[in-house]
Every structure is written in structure tokens, then in C-alpha cells.
Structure 1
Amino acid sequence: MNKGKGFSIQSFRQQPKVDQAAALQLWNTLHKAIDEIYNQNASILSYEELYRNAYNLVLHKHYELLYDGVKNDIRDHLTVSLIEIIEAKNESILAAIVHAWLFHTVAFNMMKDILMYMDRSYSVPRKKAPVYTLALQLFREVIIYHPSVRERLRSTILQEIAFERQGRVIDRPMIKSILAMFVDLNVDGVNVYEEEFEKFFLEETRNHYKVESLAFLSENTCPDYVIKAETRLGEEVARVRNYLSHTTEFKLKQVAEHELISVHAKALLELENTGFNCMLRDNKLPDLQRIYNLFARVPACMEMLRDAMFRFIKQAGLDIVASQETNKEPVVFVRSILELKSKFDTIIATSFRNEKAVLKKLNDAFEGFINVGNHCAAHLASYVDELLRGGIQGSTEVEVEDKLEKVIVIFKFLSDKDIFESYYKTLLCKRLLGGKSVSDEIEKQMIAKFKAECGYQFTTKLEGMFLDMGISKSAQEEFRNSAVFARTAIPLDVHVLTTGYWPLLPPPACLLPAPLQQSTTLFTAFYLEKNSGRKLTWLTHLGSVDIKANFKGGKKDLNVSLYQVCILLLFNEQETLGLEAIRAATEIPEMEFKRHLLSLCTPKLKILRKHSKGKGIEADDQFSFNEEFTSKFKRIKVPLISPKEVSGSDGTAGNNGDGTSGGGEGGLGESIPAAVEEERRHHVEAAIVRIMKARKTLSHNELVMETTRQLAMRFTPNPQFIKRRVESLIEREYLKRDLEDARVYQYLA
């Protein structure tokens, strides 16, 4: 360090004070500078000097002089621009205001830089508006809020937008500049954009679309209106993108969607010949997609559309259910429902984006009409019967799978699946015992689908029927290979069925002819010897026999029922027999007796000759073997007349002996079969006991809810039905009521 040099401390030199005269001189310099800025001569100014002058005025507490002076200068220059704007014509007022705005904002920014120290040391601490904010407030007050400008400016902007909606070309950059100016003027809590433009614009938009939409809809079709509405909504979104503030977008969409969609939603759905319902009816997929996309903008309207679709589908389904034509043909009935389902699956996938809420409405609609009465359960069972008897003959594996899967589609909608099971079981019984099934593998494939849908309990009896058929085949082969078989007068083909699996009720026994009696006795002895502890009951009403009959025209092979064999063999001993003699000799149950006897006397197959005229049978009727019978066929199957024909002939009703009404398949319908009703009692009681055993104590409502939930896969029990079963269980001391609350049940171990 050089010791010859050192630091010296000088005394503090105070800044000279700025008195009032000096302050006025400094302000005058600033005032002239502001004028030069407005005269666009800012390049000749020294910003450092101007900043120092403003600094000194503030430092020596002449800030009010400076602040008020700047405020007055800005106001004066704005007033000059105001005069030019007022004098401008309407078509030029927007350009004049934009020019003034751009001109003054340049000046505002320059002044803000010069007066930065005043803002920091005076304006902010004293809670006064900074220079730039003050300038914006003055611009708003002097120009925008001036009575001669305010209304003209607003109406001109709205008129330009109206012109654009009419298809005319407007100066979008100009509109954008004006609206951006409004946004910039949103200072000190005042929303100029909203108060001076947006609320008027939204009201104008509302009125415009209210008039336009009503006029357009009254003169055009629904699809045309939807296209128009889509176009208009797209234009409004583009308008936001082109010049409106982004804050307007949501409000604008609400207004436009309300007037274009919500107001006319009901009319669009119900419009005659072209509305939504007509689109559904005529399968107009592109139009449906457009109206869906339009309504999807408004949640409330979307719900209206879903409800309209629900009502349409349900009504279409009810029409199918009520149709006399489809009800006569179960196959036509089910195919009609499948076609309806396929149609709306396509509509929802193609036009409604597979929306879950729409799919739920579809399912609700199908459940609504499919469960009106028992028509669908009965007809679906008959449809499956037709498929498995030969309706899928020649189909590929893929086609078979598709047809079976369509059965499950309708099956899922059934609320009372146990009724379907009852009908299905009866028809399966007839297919298996009559050898009419096209394939055991396909039968089991169908049952596997039911099992996957409803669980193993649903198909236990169906699977048991197939198990019986397999065991019967083995037993039959064993019998044929035994020494006993050689002693039978008539060869037998016997199916041994388990009582609990098959929907069959044993009728009263009839008197079999001696050869048949001998053969059945031998089989019974043989079977019971192999299977001790079992009991065999012969279901004679289901048996069939092949016999040879000698007519004058030659021998014929007749396939007849077992009851008919009992009748025909009597005529080997006597040529003519009376009704009572035949009845006494066979002891066939009354209804079956008349049915089988009349079937042998029909005009087409008159194997027996009834001596009296008329369709009915009288007590004194006489019958004889018709040797004159002729037929071009060697083998003849004698069909049974329907129980209705027997009932119609003598006024009695009958039973088929298999637990179903004598009305046959055509009579399947409204009432719940007695066997199903009885089974429901057992299911409900079993469910109640299971629940109460696990829970010990439960209120009535909770028990009803839990029981309904557990049984939902089979059927939906009525709360009153559950209540009756609870009362029955209380009487049998499975449950008891709580002593303090009668609506609470307790389980008795």
C-alpha cells in the first residue's frame, strides 16, 4: 500500500432545499415534457433529467403539486381526443376510439417510467392510484363514460356483431381492440368489459336467438334445425376466439344453448314426422348422432332425450307384447324383441357413443315391457324349444353360439326367472323324452349359459334331467342284456326319472293289457333287484307304442299313445264297444280317456268309428274298429287332439298330468303356475331362515330388503308375500317378534 496516499473524510453536503418557486419551476419543466410526449416529440427529452426533477419534487414533499398537475394534464389531453371522437361519424367512432387509446397508452407508459419514484414513495403509501392506473381511470371517465360516447360505442359494437351473425364481413381486429381496451380498463374494482359490453351483448344474443330459433324451427325440419343450431353454436365459440374475452365464453354458451336447445328441446323430441321419435322409428343414425351431440351440451336436455328414448323403446316393446299376431307365434314374438334390441344396440353404439346412462335406459325399458305378465318367459322358453328341436340345424358353431347368446340377452331382462325355468323345464322334458333335441351338446351349452347367469342352483334340476337320461340308457342296456328281457311279451324302452328333477305328476294308474303288464312287472322286478330301496311309478300317460293294425287295404304300423293301445287292443276281442265298457276295461283318467278316444275318431285318422254324430262324446256312444281305414303312408303317427277341443266338446277342463294347465303352450301366460308358487314359498322361507340365523335379530324392513336381494337372481318377491312367509315361520316357531318392538324379529335356534 502506498503510504503517500490516504482516505479523507469530508463533511456531509446537504441538498439545497426546493422552495415553492423552485418547485413550480421543476413542475413547469415536467409539464412541458408531458406536452412534448403528447406531441410525439419524446425523442428530444432527457428521461434522466425528467426523472430527477420528479424525484426532487417528491423528495421535498411537493408531491401533491406533481400528482395533481399530472392528473390535470392527462385530463386536458384526453379532452382534446374526446372532441375528435364526438365529432366522428358512427361508422368511424370505433377507429377514433382505438386511435385515441393507442395514442394515450403510449403516453401513459412514458409518464409511468418518469414518475416511477412518485408511485413508489407517494401514490402507493397514500393509497392513491399509481400514474398508469390514474391515466386509465381518467380515460374511462373522460372518454368511455361520456354521455355522447358511451351509448354510441356500445350500440356500434353490438351492431357490428349483429352484422356478422347475418353473414356480413366486419373488421374483427377493430372489435378485438375495442374489447381488449375494455378489459384493460378493468381497474380499481370496476369491470368495464362486463358493465359496458358483456351484459348487453348477452342480452342481445338471447333476443337474437329467441327470435331466430323460433322462426327457423317453424319452417324447417328437426334435422335441419339441429344442423343450424350446431352451426350457430360453433360460430359463437369462434367469436370468443376471434375477439371476445375468454371470460365471456361460458356465459355466452349458456345463453346460446338455452335459447337454441333448452327452449326447444321438447319440440325437437316430439316434432311430428321429423322429430327425435321419428328418427328412432326410421333408424336415422346420422341425424340421431347430431341431435345427441347437440343435447349433450345441456345435462337437463340430455336427460330428456334419454327419457324420450326410454318411452319410445318401452312403447315399442309393449306393442309387441300386446300384438295378437306375435303372441300367437312365440318364435315371431322373441325375434321381434331381438330385432328391437339389435336396432337400439346399433343406435347407441353408432349415434350415442355407447354412453352408460343411455344403455341403462335401454335396459330399464326392456325390463319394463318384458316383465308385463308372463308372456315373455313363456315365449322365450318356446323360442329356445324351437331352436333346440331343429331351428339351429345346419348352423355353424359361431352361429349357434350367437343364437344362444341372444337368448341370454332377453333372459337377463326377466325379473321372474323361475317362471321361465318352469316353462323351460316342461319343454326340455318333452324334448328329452320324445327324442326331439337336435343335440345334447347344444342343450348342455344352453344350460351352461343359464348357470353362468344365475348360478348352479338355477340349473340343478335341468342338469339332473340329463343325468337321468344317461343313467336310464345304461339301465336299459343292462336290462336288454339280461335273461329277463327274453321273457318279456313286448320289448320295452324305459326311461327311469328322478321325481325331484322332472316336472311330471303321476296320474292315476290305468289297467294295462296283459302283455304290457307282464313286461312292466318284469322290468320293475329287475330294476328293484339292482337298486334296492327305490320305488318305481309308471307314468302311463307319457308312454307310446308301435303296433300293427290289419285293415282291408293292408297292414299299417301305428304309433299311438299307451292309453290308445289300451283302447285299441279291446277291439281284438269285440267288434263294437260302448263308452262305459271301454272306460271300465281301461280305467284311464276321465279327461285323458276322452282325449285319447276322440283322437282315434278324427275325420283325418278315423281308426275307430263313432256311431253317433257330432264332435262330443255321449254316455251311450258306441265305437267299432274301422276296417275301411286307408292311408297312403305305411307308418302313421296318431296325434292327440288338444285339451281345448275336449273341453269345448263337453264343457270340462283338464290337466296334462305334467303340472301345467290343459291349455298347452298357448295357454302359458298371465298367472304364476302352481308349482312355481309353491317353490317360491320354499325359497323365500329358506332365505329368511338363512338371514335370521346369521343376523339373529332384524327389523321387518331390513329383512324384506335382504330377502329380496338374495332372491333377485330367481325372482322378485312381493313384500306382502315375504310378510306372509314370515308369519308362517313365526307360527312354526322358527322366528318370534321382539317383545318391545313388534316389527323386529328374533331367530329361534
Structure 2
Amino acid sequence: MANTSKTGGYTVVDEGLASSRPNKTPRLDADSDPGSASRSRDLVKGKPVEKDGPLTVQIQDFVAQALDGLCDNSLARLKFCLRVILTRESRDILPTTYEGVFNDCRVVVCAGAKGAALYDVLVMELDRSCCNLRNELGKAVEDQDSIDWLNRFVQVCAWFEGQVMLIRALLAYLDRAHVLKTPGHLNIHELAFTSFRRHVLDYMNIIDLIQAGVRDWLSWERNEGTENPRRVYIRDLVTHLVNHGAYSVIFERFLEHAAQRVAEERERALIVFQPTTVSVVERTARRGLLEGRLDWLASGAIVPLMKARAADQLNTAYSEFAAVEGLNILCREFKIYVQNDVANIIKDTEHEGTMVERLLEFKVFCEGALQTAFVDPQTKQPNREFSYALTDAFAYGFKVRRNKPAELIAKHLDRLMRRGQRDMSDPEFDQLLDSVLGLYRYTDDKDVFRSFYHRALARRLLLERSASDDFEKAMVKKLKEKYDPEFGMGDHMFNDLALSRDLLYEHRARLPEGSPQRNLSVMVLQRSHWPFASRKKDVDLPLWMQSALAAYVEFYKSKHQGRKLDWDHSIGTATLKSRFASATKDLTVSLYQAVVLLLFDESVELGYKQILEATRMDEGELKRTLQSLACANKRVLRKQPVGKDVNETDVFYFNSEFTDPRAKVHINSIQAKETPEESTRTQSHIDSDRKHYLDAAIVRILKAKKELTYEQLKTQTIEAVKSHFMPEVSVIKMRIAGLVEQEYLRRGEDDMNRYIYVA
């Protein structure tokens, strides 16, 4: 059989496979269209083509050959362009425009798939350029003093960084289409800066020249007692060293140099002086090297060393500062760095989802540094001032954003309790939970954490999503005993569930064998112990479901006189046995989903308004329920018209063609997850509770004191509620004004700034 493809009304056939008969006749009669004359004159193997026969085409790989040649030319041109761009004061000019370089890169990387070859060329040219720059700097010192040489170094750095920016723009396709898809490859910026550091900044002669320039500048200013006009070189130098991640190297070498010089002085003193004099010589040498430079060294060393997680170098810095009684300066810079880093993590709304993990990682490093780097040599214990500084820095860092850190810590714990310990041992998992609770200590918004944790705990228990009841109970006990007594509500939740199970077993025991009501599962919860508000509107259940619930109500009231049961179906679940064309499957769904699906037992298709009328569900709930059934990955319903959103004009059908490899299929429901709207509602409830809490605290304080000035009342109110949350002063002022209007308080007649309790 011929391999064919259709084009322009004729069948194009690979030569040698064509049959004598055409597979398709022309769309038009012969010579009736303008192109027919030219087609009839076409030749194949020197012979005219028959008008009613197939068109035979011989295909040769001209395109591939031409593309290879084009790519090779573009790659060669790019290599020359990179050589010109990365050569300082080059006399050559680019053979093409910047747009031409950009297009050549696109041809090589995208069309020719030769990104690896271009990447190798770039590596080679960067290494060549950096070696030339190092040689240039080495020769420049011969005709310049050390401070002027720093200016030459700054100029070289600025030129190189500018050229790297240009190359990144011109070779954008290399970064996007090759580097991102190649594990282990550095992007252009990282590749260039790595090469510069390896070939320039890691060379001892360059580091010595930088240190000599800085040292001579310092000596000049101290000896002259005035500002050196070339001080700007030092500022620019620091900027470029930070850009290249080499700032710490200079200060590390300075500290190493100081330690080495002190050791040399000690060694000489041991030979020529009495032992009592050795310590004096050592102390004097260290002071001569470090005094007057401590602020500079502390601010310069802490930031890069903390960023690099360099605990050993931090210990060296600690030892040197301790020897000259400068630990307070080092501790101050340590606290500033930790506070700023914590604040930056918390303010990073773009990466909010990993906030807790990043805070934990940083806290683990800081606590490890306390144990290894900032250790008192006499007691062998972490320096207490550094420990206090770490605690204060985290607490201040948390203050930059109200409420959100507490909410995210609670949600992180929720994920851990759902996931469980997996391959961790019990002690390891318990330690992980403790580390998260360690962050909870730093937040002022204890009530926010409690509210979100309480809601998450309730969902885990009611939906049976918790990995371990034992860990749940242990966590509630820990929170109650170590952090907040109000977590005792968790005990009541566990008690409610235990009593509910006992009642359910007793109810089922009274039912006859085989009764469908034995499948009913009910949890009776005391509303005061659970964080769910009563629902003003709920779904209409099928009659047989209502009958089962009525039987349970009758049983419950026979056990407990005078109690009322309110049903909440929003977090209920059901298992439906559903027959599809391929097989019968058990669908695990929410109760709302079950009510909707059961409607299709009697109807082939239902419109949105019909479903709404039959269920009388809240419209928002109904749309989310239909969306989960007809628009998600597991579509047991079909929707017309097809789309991701549910509209009032949509029509729904049971999807008899639904397939799934599992016999038991879980259909995710939006109701089982906390939506942003629910999070907002929770926050609104917290704000409302805070107002009542403040009102109660203000009245209680004034009832005891009878009268207070505004400042006294404000201070005592903050003190009374700070274990739950830190109120804003403006809110306190507003609550006081509200209580005056309600005549719980009154202002003093002679002093309007004094408040008096109204009995």
C-alpha cells in the first residue's frame, strides 16, 4: 500500500510505491483553475505528467543540509562576537548587529539544537577573558600605588559585570531553551561570576593586593586625621565584592591574618620573655590589629558568613572579638542580621507557601551556630547574650506582619499531622513537631494560631484525615500544658467522638439485621467545643435518608431528654455504588455530591436550575459541588456546554463512560478543603472575638481600679491580653470610646483623659 499525503487536490506518493491509479481525483475539472497550466507542464524524470494520473515527487534532504550549514555559520559568528565582547579595549568590531547576534543564538539553540556546543564556547571565552583580566590587574600594580590599584580593580569589575549583562540579553535563548532543560548547568550570570571568582578573586596575589589597598587607605586616614579623597574606591570595591560573593573572603583573610600575627607574637614572646609577660604581648598585638576596626569587621563579616552558613569562620570571628572584649559589637550585628532575615522571609508573600520551612531551616542553623560558633571557652556553653539576641531577633522579625505567620504555622502543622511520620521514627517526628511549635513561641497572635489549628484539628477528626490519633492527643496535651490552657477544648472534641461512637454502636444494635439504617454514621458534637457555626440553610436530603436520620433522633432523645439535634451536612460523606459501562465502582463522595448524583437515578439529564430546586442547596455550594463532579479530573457527570465554570444555563448528564483503574474511587470535594473565603471568615471571627476580649479586659480592669488615666488603662489592657494577641493602640482607643457610649465607663469631669467605672 502506498504511503500518501493529500495536497491541493492531488495525491503525492513516495516514488516506487505509487500504483497506476490515482487515489483521489482532482477537486476541479482539468485546466479549469489558473494553476492547471503550470502543473500540466511539470516534468518528472524528463517526461510530462499525465493530467489524470498521480503526481510523483522525489524528496531530497536539502533542508537539513542547509540548516546544518546555517547553524555552523551562526555558531562561528557567535564565537567571534563573544571574543570581541569579552575583550577589554578590543580593536575588533562585531560582524553583525545585536539583533543579529540574538537571531544567531536562536538559530543555533532552537533550530539547530546545538545549545551544548554554544554553551561550551561561552565557557571557553569566559575563562579566557577572566585570565586576561587577572593578568591585566597583576601588571597594573607596577605603575600604581595600592589605593589607585583598587580603582583599576573596580573598573575591571564594572566592565565585566556590564558585559555579562549584555551577553545574558543577547544569548537569552541559551538560558531559556538549553540551560533550564539541562540539569547541572549554570545559567549565564552564574557561569560568568563563577569563572571570574575562580580565575581572579581566588588568586592569592589579587586578594593580597585588595587587602593592601584597604590597609593603606585605613592607615592614611588614621595618620592624616581626615577623609582620603579616594575613599569612594573602597565603597565601590565593597559593592563589587558583594556582587561576586567574595566580600567574606577579604574579611576572613583579615581575621586569619590577625590570628596568625598574634600567634607569631606569642611564639616570640615565649622565647624571650617571662610567662607572665606573654599574655600581655598577645593582648597588645591583638588590640593593635583589631581595635578601631571592630565595627567595620563585625558588619563586614557577619552578613556573608551567615549567608554562607560558615560556622567555622563564625567561631574564628567570635574568638578574635572575645579576645579584645568586642563581643557586644559582634552580637549586635548578629542580632541585626537575624532580625532582617526573618523579616524578609515573613514579608515574602510570593513564596508564602514555603515560609515555615525556610524559617525552620534558618532557625536550625542559628541554633547550631550557638552550639558551635558562639561558645564561651570557659563554660563550654553557648554565650547567653547571643542566645537572648537570637530569641529577640526572631520575635522582632515576626512583628513585621500580623496574623499571617501564626496562620501559616497552624496550617503547616495540619499538613504534618495529615501526612504523618512516614519513614521517621516516633522521636524524630515528635522533634519535628516541637521545632514547628518553637516558631509558634515567637508570634504575638496566639489566638490566630489557636483558631486555625482548632479548625484544622476538627476537620482532621471529622473527615478521618489524621495520620495518628495518638500524635493528635499528644499534641493537644502539649499545647494545653506548655503554651495555652484554652487548647483544653481539644480534649472535649475527643470525648465527643468517643461518646458518639458508643451511641452509634448502641443504635445499630437495636436495628434488625440487614437494615439499611445500619450504614448510617452519626457524630453528635457539642457546639461549644467545635469551631463550626450553625448553618442557616442546608441541603434537602432524599426521603430515605431523612427517615434514617429521624430514627436516630428518636433513639437519641430516648437517651437524652430535653436536648436538640441540629444537622450539619456540609462535612458529611457517603459511599455510592455506581454502575458504569466498564464496571461497577464504589464512589466515595461528600454528602452534597451524593445528593446531586442520586438525582440522576431518575433522570437522564438535569439542568442547573432543576438541581437547585431539587436540593435547595446554597448556590455557591451547589456550583462548587457540580464543578467537582463535572469539571475536575474524575468526571462522573458531563456538562453542556463544556467548560471549567458552572453557569445557570448548564445541563448535566450522568457519564456512563467514566473509567478508573481502581474499584473504589474518591472524588475530591471542594468542601473538604479550606477555601480562601473560609480563611477570610475565620480571620473575621478572630477580629470579632478580639473586640469582645478587649471590652471584657477594659471593664474588668476599671472595675477593680475604679478610675485610671488613658495611658494607665492602655498599658494594663495590653498586659491583660498579650498572652492571646498584641492589640493595636488605635483599636484599644476605639474600644474605650465604644464602652463610654454604652455607659460602661465615663470620662472624668475635670480631666477628660481620665476614665471612671460606672457601677
The TM-score with structure 1 as length reference comes to: 0.62
Q: Is the 8 A contact 2:577 2:584 kept in 1?
A: yes
Give 2:545's aligned residue: 516
C-alpha distance in 2, partners of 1:513/1:694? 58
Does 2:349 align with 1:320? Answer: no
How do 1:396-407 and structure 2 match up within 5 A? 396-407=425-436
Distance in 2, matches of 1:240 and 1:733, equals 83
Q: What whole-Å deviation, never above 9, does each CA across 1:634-688 have from its counterpart, x for those lacking one?
A: 1111112x5xxxxxxxxxxxxx699x75456xx77xx980111111122222222
Partner residue in 1 for 2:559 = 530
Give the match for residue 585 of structure 2.
Answer: 556
Instruction: Name 1:287's counterpart in structure 2.
Output: 313
- Of residues 457, 462, 467, the one that matches 2:490 is 462
1:341 is aligned, of 354, 359, 363, to: 363
Segment drifting more, 223-232 vs 301-310: 223-232
CA distance in 2, matches of 1:430, 1:297: 57
Partner of 1:474: 502
Indicate how the Cα distance of structure 1 residues 284 and 607 shifts in structure 2: closer, same or farther if over 3 A, else same.
Answer: closer
Cα separation, 2, equivalents of 1:529 and 1:501: 23
Aligned to 1:703: 713
Q: 1:506 is aligned with what amino acid?
A: S
**Residue in 1 that maps onto 2:332:** 307
Deviation (angstroms), 1:426: 1.6
The answer to whether the 8 Å contact 2:420/2:468 transfers is no
1:502 equivalent among 530, 542, 551: 530
TM-score of the superposition, structure 2-length normalised?
Answer: 0.61
Q: Output one character per residue of 1:61-119: Cα deviation in whole Å (capped at 9) or x when no partner.
A: xxxxxxxxxxxxxxxxxxxxxxxxxxxxxxxxxxxxxxxxxxxxxxxxxxxxxxxxxxx
Correspondences of 1:141-220 after superposition (within 5 Å): none
Asked if residue 736 in structure 1 is aligned to residue 746 in structure 2, the reply is: yes
Distance 1:254 1:741 in 2: 62
The question of 1:586 aligning with 2:611 is answered no
The answer as to whether partners of 2:347 and 2:400 remain within 8 angstroms in 1 is no
* 2:645 aligned with 1:627: no
Distance verdict in 2 for CA 1:371–1:447, change over 3 Å: farther
Deviation at residue 582 of structure 1 after TM alignment: 1.0
1:610–1:624 Cα contact (<8 Å) kept: yes
Q: Which residue of 2 aligns with 1:545?
A: 574
In structure 2, the CA distance between the partners of 1:632 and 1:240, relative to structure 1 (3 Å rule), is closer
Whole-angstrom CA distance in 1 between matches of 2:735 and 2:563: 33
**Secondary structure, counterpart of 1:600 in structure 2:** helix
Which one of the candidate residues 679, 690, 693 is aligned to 1:683?
Answer: 693
Q: Identify the residue that residue 597 of structure 2 maps to in structure 1.
A: 568
Q: 1:368 to 1:610 in 2, by over 3 A?
A: same
* Residue 694 of structure 1: aligned partner: 704
- 1:305 is displaced (CA, Å) by 1.9
In the other structure, the counterpart of 1:357 is 385
Identify if the C-alpha distance between structure 1 residues 621 and 390 changes in structure 2 by more than 3 Å, giving closer, same or farther. Answer: closer
User: For residues 757 and 282 of structure 2, what CA distance do their matches in structure 1 show?
Assistant: 61
Q: How many angstroms apart in 2 are the aligned matches of 1:581 and 1:515?
A: 20
Q: Secondary structure at the match of 2:585?
A: strand
Matched with 2:723 is 713
Structure 1 position 453, deviation (Å): 3.0
**In the alignment, residue 705 of structure 1 is paired with which amino acid?**
T
Are 1:376 and 2:405 an aligned pair? yes
Deviations 1:402-455 (A, max 9, x none): 122212211111110111112111211111011121222211211222223333
- In structure 2, what is the Cα distance between the partners aligned to 1:517 and 1:625? 24
Residue type of the alignment partner of 1:571: F
Per-residue deviation at 1:243? Answer: 8.0
**Alignment partner of 1:546: what SS?**
strand
1:740 is paired with a residue whose SS is coil
Distance in 1 separating the partners of 2:641 and 2:219: 89
The Cα of 1:487 is off from its aligned counterpart by 6.5
1:658-673 pair list within 5 angstroms: 662-663=676-677, 673=683
Q: Tell whether the 8 Å contact from 1:506 to 1:657 is kept in structure 2 after alignment.
A: no
How far apart, CA to CA, are the structure 2 residues paired with 1:696 and 1:258? 61
- Contact 1:209-1:256 within 8 A present in 2 as well: no
| Amino acid corresponding to residue 261 of structure 1 in structure 2 | L
Is the contact made by 2:451 and 2:682 (CA closer than 8 Å) also made in structure 1? no
Alpha-carbon displacement from aligned partner over 1:605-643 (angstroms, at most 9, x marks no partner) = 222221223222332322222222222221111112x5x
Task: State the shift of 1:734 in Å.
Answer: 2.8
- Aligned in 2, Cα 1:603/1:680: closer, same or farther, shift over 3 Å? closer
Q: Residue 463 of structure 2 contacts residue 571 of structure 2 at CA under 8 Å; is this kept in 1?
A: no
d(CA) in 2 for partners of 1:569, 1:389: 31
TM-aligned CA distance change 1:618 to 1:286, over 3 Å: closer
Which digits, 9 at most, give the CA deviation of each residue in 1:690-714, with x for residues without a partner?
Answer: 3223323322222222222222222
* Structure 2 Cα separation of the partners of residues 207 and 633 of structure 1: 78
Aligned partners of 1:623 and 1:490: how far apart in 2? 32
CA distance in 2 between partners of 1:509 and 1:484 (Å): 30
Cα distance in 2 for residues equivalent to 1:701 and 1:255: 52
Match of 2:420 in 1: 391
Q: Which amino acid aligns with 2:555?
A: F
Whole-angstrom CA distance in 1 between matches of 2:628 and 2:311: 55
Gaps of 5+ in 1: 1-205, 643-655
How do residues 587-606 of structure 1 correspond to structure 2 at under 5 angstroms? 587-602=616-631, 604-606=633-635
Instruction: Give the alignment of 1:239-258 within 5 angstroms.
Output: none
Cα 1:615–1:523 change in 2 (3 A) is: same
**Structure 2 counterpart of 1:286, which letter?**
D
Larger-Rg structure: 1
| Residue of structure 2 in register with 1:156 after alignment | none
- Does structure 2 conserve the Cα–Cα contact (< 8 Å) formed by 1:422 and 1:676? yes
Classify the secondary structure of the residue corresponding to 2:540.
coil
> Are 2:449 and 1:423 equivalent residues in the alignment?
no
Q: Is the alpha carbon distance of 1:604 and 1:454 closer, same or farther for their aligned partners in structure 2, counting shifts above 3 Å? A: closer
**Would the aligned equivalents of 1:454 and 1:713 in 2 still touch at CA under 8 Å?**
no
Name the SS for the 1:745 alignment partner: strand
2:482 maps to 453
The one of the two structures with greater contact order (alpha-carbon pairs below 8 A, sep at least 6) is 1
Calculate percent identity across the aligned residue pairs: 29
Q: CA deviation at 1:485?
A: 9.7
Change (3 A) 1:491 1:367: same
> CA 1:516/1:485 → structure 2, altered by over 3 Å: closer, same or farther?
farther
CA contact (8 A) 2:452 2:682 kept: no
1:364/1:503 Cα in 2 relative to 1: closer, same or farther (>3 Å)?
A: same
Count how many residue pairs are aligned between Structure 1 and Structure 2. Answer: 513
2:328 alignment partner, SS class: helix
SS in 2 for 1:604: coil
Determine the structure 1 residue equivalent to 2:520: 492
Query: What's the RMSD between the two structures over aligned residues?
Result: 3.7
Cα deviation 1:113-148 (Å, max 9, x = unaligned): xxxxxxxxxxxxxxxxxxxxxxxxxxxxxxxxxxxx
